[in-house]
Amino acid sequence: MPRFRMSEIRKHDAKSTHPWVTHGDKVYDITEWISAHPGGQVILRAAGGSIEPYWNIFTIHKNQYVYDILNQYLIGYIHQADLVDGKPAQETIEDPFADDPVRHPDLITRTMKPRNAETPEQALSAQFITPNELFYVRNHMWVPKLTPDEAEAHILTVELPDGTTKEYTLRDLKTKFAEKKITAVLQCSGNRRSHMSRGSGRATNGLQWEAGAISNATWEGVLLSDILADAGFDAATVRNGTSEAQHVHFSGMEAYGSSIPIKKAVDPQGDVLLAYGMNGKPLPRDHGYPLRSIVPGHVAARSVKWLSQITLSDEESPSQWQRKDYKCFGPNQTKVDWEKAPAIQELPVQSAITGVKLGEWTTPSQETSSDSAEPAKEVALNGYAYSGGGRSVIRVDVSLDDGKSWSQANLLPDEESKYDGKSWSWKRWTFNGAVPLEAFKTPEDGAAGKETDDDKNTIRRGSARRPANESSQHTKSNRRCTTVAIKATDEVYNTQPESHAATWNFRGNLATAWHRVQVCTDC
Ligand code: MTE
Ligand code: MO
């Protein structure tokens, strides 16, 4: 069989009429395979070079039957001159993430390739609208790159159940349909997963997010229901039960995909957008430039970035992110039947503490103090609360003694963002209170050793001086802690579970137990 120089292989890229890929020192002509490839055109991303870095991302390919398929297309080998120890030289293998955009340094990086980063705590409750550059990033693969011209000409294909298709360029969407703005939260199903792992003492699979895999933005775009109607889909068939289509699939340019029920897509109060703008600017590349779906009230996995295809179908999306991920099981179930659990769509009620500040010791005044009157430590808390399905949060409860007694936080009067009675945004809350001295326990009392969600967020403030009237016994061990806890309730009175152990699932999805943070002070 012939041997090919790398310079020749490079010419058989995605634009060539005969795309090639390499694996090891073998060269394959994949022209015939593209139309049959289950992942579609995405295989072209590897054309002109090695397929291996992609298989490291889509590990499903590391399978004998995949090698067998590829072997049918073998046309030769890489030239000896381009091999080092029988393998292609490292620098000839392209990094799929080489084109990823530069990210704001304040984002908290969980993984670089693919890029996953959470919004820093200060930014979570500082503003109602998360700035674009601090909005959390959750990518399964690389970030597609389009020039502004390519973006305007970017084509969205809509396929109806009978197989007919209609194409829209981004320009069509922007100029031929009414623009709609929706302010909505996106929350990853893995938000607070690390709290579930620590709080339950059981490891979970997945990115160990803290409380920052959630953000709120104003999205500009067109209503999905308008586009479906234009493409020839009759929404009345959904209402009268004769619709063949039961699901709307969204496919991204890098092969990510998922789906939502057709009911949500055509619900006049559903507000599903095909968005090209974010907070008044074009979508940033990390967030789906030039087009993404925004499914308010649903898990963010359904808000598909770099959107290129919409398919109406009687079945859910066949993608692994629809069928083999983003589902929950019982705490005892570790070998699971994926088919049996529904895909997560609407989100449950969630809340988190994103800031803790300890203030001064306050001493009760002479008149009000009784014999037992004790000094207390001022504490200021803030955070967010959110519920899925458009259900607004009606109350946030705060406990300064780990759940024994509760008070209510103050919900900030942010823009209501109610759309036909639906609330798609988070609510920010603040709380000012005082922790009585007796609630602070020395670590020996057990408080500091107890599992809280936020061991690493433990607040240590040594600034406060010991109250003058405190007895000398406190001088020996001076670090004292208490656990503050919060929970939110939404408009249908759903609330958060007390323990992560009770909702633990091996994938660590939907970690919504009370957020508990240990607050320590040097008395
Ligand atoms: N869409 C594409 N095309 N690729 C992806 O990896 N990740 C999904 C969703 N849409 C993803 C995607 C997941 S799991 C989440 S949580 C959100 O995008 C994150 O959106 P963001 O990065 O804009 O915050
Ligand atoms: Mo996610």
Residues 245 and 113 in one domain: yes
Does 515 qualify as catalytic in the annotation? no
Predicted confidence at residue 94, as pLDDT, reads 78
Same domain, yes or no: 172 and 258: yes
- Confidence (pLDDT) at 447: 42
Q: Which of 326, 384, 386, 419 is catalytic?
A: 326
The residue from 188, 328, 481, 523 that is catalytic is 188
Residue position matching structure tokens 């957020």 = 515
Within 6 A (CB) of ligand 1 lie 135-140, 186, 188, 252, 254, 256, 286-287, 300-301, 303-306
Residues 87 and 150 reside in one and the same domain: no
CATH number of the domain to which 28 belongs: 3.10.120.10
Same domain, 50 and 141: no
- Out of 44, 61, 92, pick the residue that ends a domain: 92
Q: How confident is the model at residue 479 (pLDDT cuts 50, 70, 90)?
A: confident
Residue 283 is inside which H or E element, if any?
Answer: none
Q: Which domain holds residue 66?
A: 3-92
- Look up 10 and say whether it is catalytic: no
Nearest atom of ligand 1 to the alpha carbon of 326: 14
Is the per-residue pLDDT at 401 higher than 80? yes
**Mean per-residue pLDDT, 168-196:** 98
Residues 518 and 458 sit within 8 Å (Cβ to Cβ): yes
Rounded CA-CA distance 77/46 in Å is 17
Name the pLDDT band for 370 (thresholds 50, 70, 90): low
Residues 354 and 335 grouped into a single domain = no
Could you tell me if 248 and 148 lie in one domain?
A: yes
Q: For residue 76, report the distance from its CA to the centre of ligand 1, in Å.
A: 38
pLDDT number for residue 372: 56
Distance 292 CA to ligand 2 centre (A): 14
Please report the atom of ligand 1 found closest to the CA of residue 136: 24
Asked if residue 101 is part of any domain, the answer here is no
Residue 99 lies in a domain: no
Does residue 238 share a domain with residue 153? yes
Q: Domain check: are 309 and 365 in the same one?
A: no
CB of 198 within 8 A of CB of 453?
Answer: yes
Confidence label for 448 from pLDDT (cuts 50, 70 and 90): very low
Distances (CA, A) of 264 to 80, 144, 235, 239, 467: 57, 28, 11, 12, 58
Pick the last residue of a domain from 300, 318, 339: 339
Ligand 1 atom at shortest distance from the alpha carbon of 135: 24
Average pLDDT in the 336-342 region?
95
CB atoms within 10 A of CB 358: 19
Does a cis peptide bond (omega within 30 degrees of 0) precede residue 290?
A: yes
Cβ 290 vs Cβ 281: under 8 Å: no
Q: Give the residue from 168, 187, 175, 207 showing the smallest Cα distance to 294.
A: 187
Is 61 a known active-site residue? yes
CA 439 to chain centre: 36
CB-CB contact of 518 with 481 (8 Å) = yes
**Separation of 246 CA from ligand 1 center, angstroms?**
23
Q: Is residue 181 part of a domain?
A: yes
* Contact predicate 298/264, CB 8 Å: yes
ipTM > 0.90, yes or no: yes
Catalytic entry in 12, 138, 292, 480: 138
Is the distance from CB of 365 to CB of 376 less than 8 angstroms? no
Q: Considering its fold, how many domains does the chain have in total?
A: 3
pLDDT score, position 423 = 94
Whether the predicted pLDDT of 341 surpasses 80: yes
CB neighbourhood size of 296 (10 A): 26
d(CA 389, ligand 1 centre) in Å: 19
Q: What is the pTM of this model?
A: 0.89
Q: Per the residue annotation, which of 61, 193, 249, 287 is the catalytic one?
A: 61
Active site residue 285: no
Q: What is the per-residue pLDDT for 441?
A: 86
Edge-to-edge strand list for the sheet holding 155-159: 165-169, 155-159, 307-313, 247-252, 257-261
Can you tell me which atom of ligand 1 is nearest the CA of 253?
3
Q: Which of 130, 392, 416, 173 is nearest to 281 (CA)?
A: 130
Residue 137 CA, closest ligand 1 atom number: 22
Q: How confident is the model at residue 125 (pLDDT cuts 50, 70, 90)?
A: confident
Active site residue 73: no
Q: What digits encode the pLDDT tens for the residues 8-47?
A: 999 999 999 999 999 999 999 999 999 888 777 888 889 9
Structure tokens at 176: 């031929």
Whether residues 313 and 443 fall in one domain: no
Mean pLDDT of 109-127: 93
In percent, the amount of the chain with pLDDT more than 90 equals 78
Q: What is the pLDDT of residue 354?
A: 97
345, part of any domain: no
The pocket of ion ligand 2, defined by CB under 5 A, consists of 138, 188, 301
Residue 310 sits in the same domain as residue 445: no
Residues 126 and 217 in one domain: yes
Indicate the SS3 state at residue 186. Answer: strand
Q: Residue 293 Cα, ligand 2 centroid: separation in angstroms?
A: 14
Amino acid in the structure at residue 517: V
Catalytic, out of 37, 171, 460, 465: 37
